[in-house]
Amino acid sequence: MELSVADMSNYLGVTPDTIKRWLKQGKLPVSKKGQTITFRRKDLENWARKNQIKLDFSKAAVKTEEANPRGENELVSLVQAVERAGVFPGIPGNDTSEVFESAIAGMGFVPETFKSDLLSRLLEREAALSTGIGNGIAIPHPRVQPEYIESPAVLIGYPREPLAYNALDGKAVSVLFFLLCPDLKNHLHLLSVISFCLRNDSFVSFLKSGPKTADLLEKVGLLEQTYSI
Amino acid sequence: MTLIRNTYQEIIHRLFRGDDRLLLIIAGSIAGVCSGIAAVVLRLSLEAVLEWLHHFRHFWWAFALPAVGAVASSFFLNKVVKEGAGHGVPEVIYAVSRYGGLLRFRSSFSRLISSFLTIGSGGSAGPEAPVVMSGSAIGSNIAKFFHLNDRQRITLVGCGTAGAIASIFNAPIAGLVFSIEVILGEWKFVNIIPIAIAAVAGAEVSHAIIPEQVIFNHQPFETGFNDIWGSICLALFAAMISVFFTRVLRQSGKLAKRIELPLWIKAAIGGCTVGLISMGMPVVLGEGYHYIQMMISEEFSLSIFLVLVAVLAKIVATSLTLGWGGSGGIFAPCLVIGSLTGVLFHKGLMALFPGAGCASEGAYALLGMTGLISGVMQAPLTGIFLIVEITGGYEAILPLILVSSIASTLSHYIEPASFYFKELIERGQFLRPGTDARILSDLNISELIETDMITVTDNRMFRDLIDILKTTEQDVFPVIGSQSGNYEGLIQISAIRKFALDPGMYDMIFVSQVMDSTLQTASLENDIQEIIDMMNTNRVDHIPVVENDRFIGMIKKTKILDLYRQELIMQTISH
């Protein structure tokens, strides 16, 4: 098998210029055919064994940028996540716990057997530190990812009455983003997107006006396109 | 009074501590003398026991003699002094490169006794490797006595080796060259002078005790132009035999390892087989110097076929002796096989071209020895000088150089690692000065680890981490479990940059949610090579060191690079 300078630079993890310098200095076993420089695999293997150099010709050794070493899944957009869970106007309940309970009851994508577990996880997170980010908005989410949920989901809920929430600025909460992701990576990503959207004042006032689901999704979609960090 | 004392101390300092050359020369000559005595003692006692046992050789049970010797030798090595079998040269090379030449005191006599038992009883092996082991251990322990540092100790190990080889062959230059070419592996000015003096001291000791000048006497050789072609062909032939010999030796050792029998039974089997071979082919017995002398002085009268059989028999006998538990070196067997090869080649040449005006059979025996020594050890200079000195055959120097260089080059081409180095390379213990493996093996985790790291507990909010970030330049943060105190994961700034720029996230996430807990961790037992491999496979620049779940410190690639460069400079400076 014959290898080119580009192949060698891949296998050894150095630039082709380095390979060329090593060739000029006579450090690599090369077989030239006229002007083209090629390496014979057998020669290289002998050379590597003799000089105690680790040389792995298997495909794993070639560094590819798209390779994802931990096999993580792709990121989900906020629109997809909201489409999955939907919008829930007028959630009944008098306090945080009751509102959460009714909201979870309406989540079709959460298996029945895990609903009480999800509620306790959400409340546990609130007990640690309120998720009310101020300005009447809160992002309830569990601290430990609920692995029983199939894919990331964001439910936008409006409590029937503004909710006393122990938020940072003390304001009552009128919009809730229930953020439920099975994996941490999407969780952090969606949290970051939501935070980005909520920095846009016109979006916040639009959100609080209680728009139709389709309009809300369209707006979120437009805003998400400008998301950049 | 104080003035005198101060002056005295100043002189001592200038002579010995400030510049250690004089110190090394003195200590080196002591090492040379001591190892020279050790070598002479082994040589004389071997001669005596071979003489004594000669009377029993014609009895039918004589074939069991080598077995008795091999069993005694392996029992002594394994049970009494608790050292491994084999010839010991790789162990010396490894001690030099890894432990600054540190060798145990018992090594200075253990191999002498075991090889005396093996060779004296008729096992096919040489006394040279044992005296190398013993000489180097003597040098190492003299260095210990003088409280010398690693570098000086390595020089003294070289001195001991040179003295031993110089003494046993009465060949000072061969001792010097072997010591530097094979054992130390670097030609450094500071090493050469003490080792040369030690070699001369060793040779003088041997000369004083055994007055004869050269080991092998011979008639002057007349070499002509035709012998150049003869030597080239002989070199090719000798290289083949060298490679064959090396492979048979190694295979025999591997086979013995695979067979599950007590060591003494293996040694007995090996010894008996050698004894049986020796019944038909007495040339395989012992170190065989007597037969070399016969071949050089052309008193060796076997037919061409029998010489071929003798070559094979000697190779098999040596492999059985050394591979199956006996103790001894390959120097003398190489010389015997080499001279047999030379004789075989000469006989073949004469049969094919009866009229060719070649040098005598003795001259070719000489050339064959050079070919085998150079081919098996891949040490061309040792091959040339050893043969020149032990035979006094300066008139054959041109063909000698030719045979030596061709044989070592060709055998290097077929078998890239020499017999001495192959084991070390396979175990990853071949660490010549200035090589990557050597530098990495010299660096310790303790020199690289950064322990004064700011850590964060996993129940802290992201905002707390941001506050810490503002006050430090640290760019990785180990996360410690708040309950357990165990290492949980690592936060890298590059991974959290996205969230750190968004104040809306600060109170939303916990430290434990942004840490990377899948990252591979190292322990204090890992060596630097393994840690660098980890960094490369995971493509990270930091590896946390975790011991019993507790975070110990970080190892950074930049730190490794810094220290690596400094280490390289230190290892390659001339003293």
Q: Is the pLDDT of residue A71 over 50?
A: no
Where do runs of H (alpha helix) occur along chain A? 5-12, 16-24, 41-50, 78-85, 96-105, 115-128, 184-198, 201-208, 213-225
The pLDDT assigned to B239 comes to: 92
Q: Could you give the count of Cα atoms lying within 13 Å of B302 in the half-sphere of its Cβ?
A: 20
Helix, strand, coil % (nearest 5) of chain B? 70, 5, 25
Q: What's the pLDDT at B175?
A: 92
Identify the pLDDT of residue B179: 93
Regarding the domain with residue range B226-427, which homologous superfamily does it belong to in the CATH classification?
Clc chloride channel (1.10.3080.10)
Instruction: Judge contact between B424 and B430, C-beta under 8 A.
Output: yes
The 3-state DSSP class for residue A100 equals helix
pLDDT of residue B159: 94
Whether A133 sits inside 8 A of B507 (CB atoms) is yes
Q: Which residues contact B212 (CB under 8 A, 6 or more apart)?
A: B170
- Contact state of A229 with B501 under an 8 Å Cβ cutoff: yes
Would the CB atoms of B499 and A49 count as touching at under 8 Å?
Answer: no
Q: For domain B2-209, give its CATH number from 1.10.3080.10, 3.40.309.10, 2.40.70.10, 1.10.1060.10.
A: 1.10.3080.10
Residues of chain A with CATH 3.40.930.10: 78-225
Residue pair B341/B237 in contact (Cβ under 8 Å)? The answer is yes
Dihedral of the CA atoms B136, B139, B144, B145 (nearest 10)? Answer: 150
CB nearest B505 (choices: A13, A52, A195): A195
Inform me whether the C-beta atom of residue B309 falls under 8 Å from chain A C-beta atoms.
no
Distance CA A78, CA A140 (A): 16
CA-nearest of B432, B484, B439 to B459 is: B484
List of residues 6+ apart from B256 with CB closer than 8 A: B266, B270, B323, B324, B325
Distance, CA of B108 to CA of B136 (rounded, Å): 7
Q: Does A219 touch chain B (CB under 8 A)?
A: no
CB of A114 closer than 8 Å to CB of A147: no
Q: How many residues does chain B have?
A: 575
Question: Which of the two residues, A24 and B410, has the higher pLDDT score?
Answer: B410
* d(CA A113, nearest CA chain B) in Å: 26
Q: Which CATH number fits domain A78-225: 3.40.50.620, 3.40.50.720, 3.40.109.10, 3.40.930.10?
A: 3.40.930.10
Can you give the pLDDT at residue B485? Answer: 86
DSSP characters for B56-93?
GTTSGGGGGHHHHHHHHHHHIIIIIS---SS-SHHHHH
To the nearest whole Å, the CA of B504 is away from the closest chain A CA by 5
pLDDT digits (tens, 9 = 90+) for B250-283: 888 888 888 887 777 888 888 888 888 887 777 7
The strand ranges marked E within B516-572 are 542-547, 550-556
Q: What is the DSSP letter of B220?
A: P
Residue A69, pLDDT score: 45
Query: In the predicted model, is pLDDT for residue A91 greater than 90?
Result: no
Which residue ranges make up each domain of chain B? 2-209, 226-427, 441-572
A31/B contact by beta carbon, under 8 A? no
In chain A, CATH 1.10.10 sits at 2-61
**B491 forms bridges with which residues in the sheet?**
B477
Top residue of B421, B508, B538, B557 to mutate, by most chain A CBs within 10 Å, is B508
Is A228 an 8 Å CB contact of chain B? no
Contacts B498 to A, Cβ<8 Å:
192, 229
Longest Cα–Cα distance of chain B, Å, equals 101
d(C-alpha B279, C-alpha A170), whole Å:
105
Q: Which of A84, A141, A189, A219 is catalytic?
A: A141
Q: Which residues contact B405 (CB under 8 A, 6 or more apart)?
A: B235, B374, B380
Instruction: Please state whether beta strands A132-134 and A137-138 pair in parallel, antiparallel, or not at all (unpaired).
Output: antiparallel
Beta bridge partners, B489, equal B479
Residue A70 has pLDDT above 60, yes or no: no
**Average pLDDT value over all residues in chain A:** 81
Which fold is adopted by the domain B441-572? CBS-domain (3.10.580)
**Which pairs from A201-209 meet CB under 8 Å and 24+ separation?**
A204/A135, A204/A137, A207/A137, A207/A156, A207/A175, A208/A136, A208/A174, A208/A175
Query: Which CATH class for the A2-61 domain?
Result: mainly alpha
Shared fold status for B2-209 and B226-427: yes
Q: Which residue positions in chain B have pLDDT lower than 50?
A: none
A69 touches chain B (CB under 8 A): yes
* Distance between CA atoms of residues A220 and A66, nearest Å: 29
Specify whether A141 is catalytic: yes
